[in-house]
Each structure stands twice: as C-alpha cells, then as structure tokens.
Structure 1
Amino acid sequence: MKKKVLLIHTGGTISMHMSEDGGVIPDTNNPLMQESKKLEMIADLIEIEAFNLPSPHITPKKMLELRNLIIDTLKKNTVDGVVITHGTDTLEETAYFLELTTNLEMPIVLTGAMRSSNELGADGVYNLVEAVRVASSDQARNKGVLVVMNDELHSAVNVTKTSTSSVSTFQSPQYGPLGLVTKTLIHFQQAPMKREYVEVNSLDKKVALFKIYAGMDADLLHSAIDCQYDGVVLEGLGQGNVPPAILPAIEKLIQHGIPVVLVSRCFNGIAQGVYGYEGGGKMLEDMGVIFATGLSGQKARLKLMIGLNQEVKPINVKKFFI
C-alpha cells in the first residue's frame, strides 16, 4: 500500500526557469505542479503551494507560517511524511526552524535545485522524486527534519550550503551525511543523538547576527542596543575569540540583559572558552557570553530567536545552547 505524503511548494530555483536573456526567474505556474504523475507512482499526494518565493524572500515569519500549515494539515489528514520544495539560499534555515518547532515522528524532508527547470542538467525533479521516496520510508521516521539533495540525506542541524552553484552544494561539515539515496535503497548510516522542541506561536523578539573580523569596531554592536534587539549572535574568530575593541560593547549588551551567543566562523570544530588573553574565549565566557556548540551563525540566530519567543516559560539561554 502506498504511503501518503504532504507535498508543500514554497518556490525557489526548483520552480523557476531561465529566460531568454539568461536570467533565472520565477514561473507564474510552478512547473513542479505538473510532475504529480511521476510522484504518484511512489506515494499518494496532498499537494499545496504555500508560497512561490525566491528563498532570500523567506523570513522567520514565513517559516512559522509553513510550520503552522503543516500542523493544521496534519490535524485534518492522515499523512506518513512531509516534503517541502524550497530555494537553496535559505533552505538550511527553514529546515532548522522546523527541526526546533515540530516534534513529529514522521519525516519532514526539504529539497531544492541548483538548476532551474529548463536548464541543461536540471536537478529539481530528480531531487523531488528522491525526497518523496525518503518521506515515504519507515527508516526516515524519528530522524528529525532532513535535507535530501544529490543522492544524500542530511540532518537539518548540520547541513549547510557550501557552493554557490554546484549540485553537490549541501554538505554537513565535520559530521557528514546521515545516509544515501540509491536507485533502490534509502540507506541511513547514522542518526541524530537528540532532538529539541520549542513551542512558538509568534516571533516578536528579534536577534541580530554579526560576523567578527580583524579590526572590528564596537559601533555595530552598540546599534543592537539602539535598535532594541532582544539577542545577539557573534560569529567569532577561531575557537571563539574577538578583537579587544568590541569588548566594552559586549559587556554593555550583557548589562542591558541582552543575551550574547558566540559561535565560530569556522565551519569545522566548535567554539570554546580556551584563550585567556584580552578578547579570548575564556575572558568572554567569564563575562557571561554563551557558547553555542556546533552551530553556524545563522542557525544559532534562529535558535536564540525561537528560544526567546517560546510560549511556555522563559528559557535558560545557557542551558538551551548546551
């Protein structure tokens, strides 16, 4: 008996075409909506076009809308898995947002394309077929939110876009893919050790993200206070270090009750309070800066935003990032 899959389209290159002048633009009618016959050989579909947006137009509020659409649809229908087509630029952020704000046993699988529908070597339909296969697989249950592209399975927590144009752009630095999709198998070689869930119904709190660089001045960090941000994430140097010139601004943020979370701008390794010199991670840790283990800056920003907006009770930010 075929499984039932909720297929949600949100736009992105996977639903675009190349125009005569060489620009890649959205289609008025999503070409993926014409692929139902191929997909229905794998699963019975409930197909919804939620948005038709380039992924740079996706915001956390759109991610919340998507999460609510999934939950509301599942209340009315019995479904075995969910597939979401999405632009690749912010796909990893939407995947991680859904990882933190859903607690479903069934797989939620995101996929996209690096080549539009009428380009030579278009990869969209191929990736979509694989995503539906994974969402229909019992092996994919209880694995968290997944990203499926280019024959690989990745965890939403670790995956990131690593190339501007290659079809193998999505990688999980340091950890590797969870598994592979072959012509006959959905093969998992590892699984996430833990999952987190936060109840969120609104996103009123806002969080800024700053990339640390050599010679950085403090004025940008002061702007987070002036603009009434509720949290700040810093992509620090190396194991989690910053130029001394921004230390007074970091201290001021903490004094204003604004949590400061630190990750490394390196995509391998984790940020730790190791160095004790001025601006070193140990000094920052002693000041009250919170170290996020193994997250990128963009994902740490989403996690802090979700945590600050949780419905039940205020979070302990330090414990939340352990």
Structure 2
Amino acid sequence: MTSQTAQTTSTAAGDNSLPVVELFALGGTIASAPRTDGEGVSPTVRVEDLVAAVPGLVAVAQVRATQVLQVPSCEVTPGDVVELAARMRAAVDAGAAGCVVTQGTDTLEETAFLLDLLWDREAPVVVTGAMRTPDAPGADGPANLLGAVTVAASDTARGAGVLAVVGDQIHAARYVHKAHTSAPSAFVSPGTGPIGWLVEGRAALALTPRRPAAVHLAEDTPLPEVLVVRVGMGESPALLSALVSGAVPGVAGVVLEGVGGGHVPRALVPALRDLVARVPVVLASRTGAGETLSRSYGYPGGDVDLTQAGLVPSGTLDAARARLTLRVALAVGVERGEVEDCFRRLARTD
C-alpha cells in the first residue's frame, strides 16, 4: 500500500447478532476537509470519524473499520487494489458478511472493476464515495456509506460480485461510470442503468450481473505497463510510430480508443500493423457505451480492417477497463496469441 499513514482498525459498537461488515477506507472526497491554508480540501478525515458521523450504521451491521490509505483517488494504484482484494478475502473467510470500500470518486469505477475481476467469493463487495465533502451543504457521504453497508450486509447482494452504491442506486462494477465532474448524480451505468436500489432501509436488486470466473493474481505480481491512445479527428500517427520504434520504453501493451464502434483514420493503419507485431493492441471505443464492433465497417481504419490486422476488440469494456484487463491478463502470463480469447471471456456478455 502506498499510504504514508499508519493503518488502524476500529469497531463500531452494535448488536452482536447483526452481520459483520468490514470497511476499508482509502481517502477521497468522502474523507476530505478544508486545508488549513485555505487551498481547497484534502483527505484528512479518519475512518472512525466517518463511521461515527453515521449513527444509523449500528442498526445495520457490526462495522469493523480499517484505514488503509488516506489519499485522493488518483493516487490509488492497481497494486493497492490487488492487496485490498486479498485483505477482503481474508475478512470474509474470517466470517464477515461483506466488505465496503470508501474512496474518491474519480477512479471509483476502476477500483470496482478491478476488484470484480479478482473477487471469487459469494460475499458482496461495495465501493462508495461522495461528491461533496462532509462539511458541505447536502453532504452525500453519510447516506452513501449507510447504503453501502446495508447492501454489503444483505443476503440479497450475495453472488452479485462487486457493486457501487451511490445516491441510493446500486450499480454493477462492470458498467458504472462517473459521468459528471461535480454533480451529486454523477454516477450512471451507460447501456444498462443501475441494477438495484435502496428503499426504506433495505437493498433491492432487480437483476444479478453475469460475471466471468475470477482471475487469481498474487499480491506481489507486477502489472505490466499498458498505455491508452485516444484517437480524434485527423489524428497523427506520431505517437504510435514512437511506440513502434521503442521510444517509449517498458510498454507491454496498448489500448487504442477509437472513434465510434472502433475506427481510426487510415493514416494510422500502417503504424498500427507494425505495433501489433510488437505488443498486444486492444481496440476500444471512446463513446462510453455499447460493444466495440468487429464485423461492420470494412474501409481502411474501420473495425473489420483493424481486427484483421490483429487488434483485439474490447467488447463492452471502455478504454480504462480494457487497460486494467490487459494488465491483469499479461500479469498472469496470458500469451499474445491468447489475448483475444482472454478478452472474449472477460469482456463479452454472450
């Protein structure tokens, strides 16, 4: 873990007959307060204070709270999440009914998705955060935390994998997306919508997401570097050519974020063909919803052309999720020729 703060654990007093929920705090807006120099806010509120600010928690579960990190979400790393998954497995194996993670919202969807790739238990894992700091008018953190613990303690959510709970809505980790910089209603699930909700203090799930088998990744396994290259109108092949030449060292794979269903200007195709000969290249869409196409557009730079050149369609995964998937796949030893099969298993719904 990258935190420079000491890790502490506390337990909220409550009814011993209630289920145990393990709460892991990573920082973020939900734990932020104004800086003493007046320059914005930063995560300084400890997890025991977050729990104390929501007295209703004691009626829902026995909450064991651990301060793991105290950072903005842009500082949370995939390695931190891999370690967190191991902590949660140990907690569930020791009897916890479920786990909750609090963190900043900027990378909440990535934490949730990576945890979902790794999670192999029936107990629910719920990731939550806040768009407003605890001292702000209409602070949403307390309600989100109460909702997250309610879902994690519920039998209803067992087997559903990793979920995100914000604004009384329950989202699947695979689809949840932060779609606004500051609005309390920032989180959506493009193409599917939320899969459940909170009502009158209980969790309701309308459906359970289909999930592939979990990936087993040791805590100390390094994750190879994968770059995302976003394509726009009139894009130059300069960056792709630099990757082909080796001018950017240490790159083990690339996610190409194409326009529309996964398309690029024809000027990029020669460099892409050369790049595919060096490293795995996954084709994603910058639209944010729907599947990457592979058999629809046959012009140079179209999805048919790119997949025939060896690019691997990302299925329903956006570029951020495709990047994490490729890093995990390479970390567990998936060979280049197996990347397409790996994505077909991890990224498709059929």
TM-score class, shorter: over 0.9
Deviation at 1:193, TM superposition (A): 2.2
Match of 1:297 in 2: 319
Structure 2 unaligned regions, length at least 5: 1-16, 345-350
Match of 1:5 in 2: 21
Aligned-partner SS, 1:321: helix
Whether 2:167 is the aligned partner of 1:144: answer no
Whether 2:57 is the aligned partner of 1:39: answer yes
Instruction: Tell me which of 31, 52, 55 is aligned to 2:73.
Output: 55
Match of 1:161 in 2: 178
Whether 2:253 is the aligned partner of 1:221: answer no
Whether 2:300 is the aligned partner of 1:283: answer no
Pair 252,60 (structure 1): closer, same or farther in 2 beyond 3 Å: same
Deviation at 1:73, TM superposition (A): 3.5
Q: Is the 8 A contact 1:14 1:87 kept in 2?
A: yes
**Separation of aligned partners in 2, 1:203 and 1:152:** 34
Aligned length: 319
Q: Map 1:1-322 to 2 at 5 A.
A: 1-19=17-35, 21=38, 23-27=40-44, 29-30=46-47, 31-35=49-53, 37-75=55-93, 77-201=94-218, 202-225=221-244, 226=246, 227-256=249-278, 258-273=279-294, 274-310=296-332, 314=335, 316-322=338-344
The residue type paired with residue 133 of structure 1 is T
Q: Is the 8 A contact 1:153 1:178 kept in 2?
A: yes
Q: Is the 8 A contact 2:150 2:201 kept in 1?
A: no
Moved over 4 A (4+): none
265-274 vs 85-94, greater mean Cα deviation? 265-274
Aligned-partner SS, 2:242: helix
Deviation readout 1:116-146 (Å, 9 max, x if unpaired): 0100111101100010000010010001100
**Separation of aligned partners in 1, 2:35 and 2:117:** 38
**Separation of aligned partners in 2, 1:102 and 1:284:** 33
The residue type paired with residue 296 of structure 1 is D
Q: Is the 8 A contact 2:256 2:282 kept in 1?
A: yes
Q: Over aligned residues, Cα RMSD in angstroms?
A: 1.7
Aligned-partner SS, 1:209: strand
**Separation of aligned partners in 2, 1:272 and 1:212:** 16
Aligned-partner SS, 2:292: coil
Structure 1 unaligned regions, length at least 5: none
- State the identity as a percent: 36
**Separation of aligned partners in 1, 2:86 and 2:335:** 22
Pair 203,244 (structure 1): closer, same or farther in 2 beyond 3 Å: same
Q: Is the 8 A contact 2:92 2:123 kept in 1?
A: no
Q: Is the 8 A contact 1:144 1:195 kept in 2?
A: no
145-154 vs 20-29, greater mean Cα deviation? 20-29
Deviation at 1:264, TM superposition (A): 0.8
Deviation at 1:22, TM superposition (A): 6.3
**Separation of aligned partners in 2, 1:194 and 1:88:** 23
Deviation readout 1:260-307 (Å, 9 max, x if unpaired): 111111122221121111111110011111101111110010011111
Deviation at 1:37, TM superposition (A): 4.4
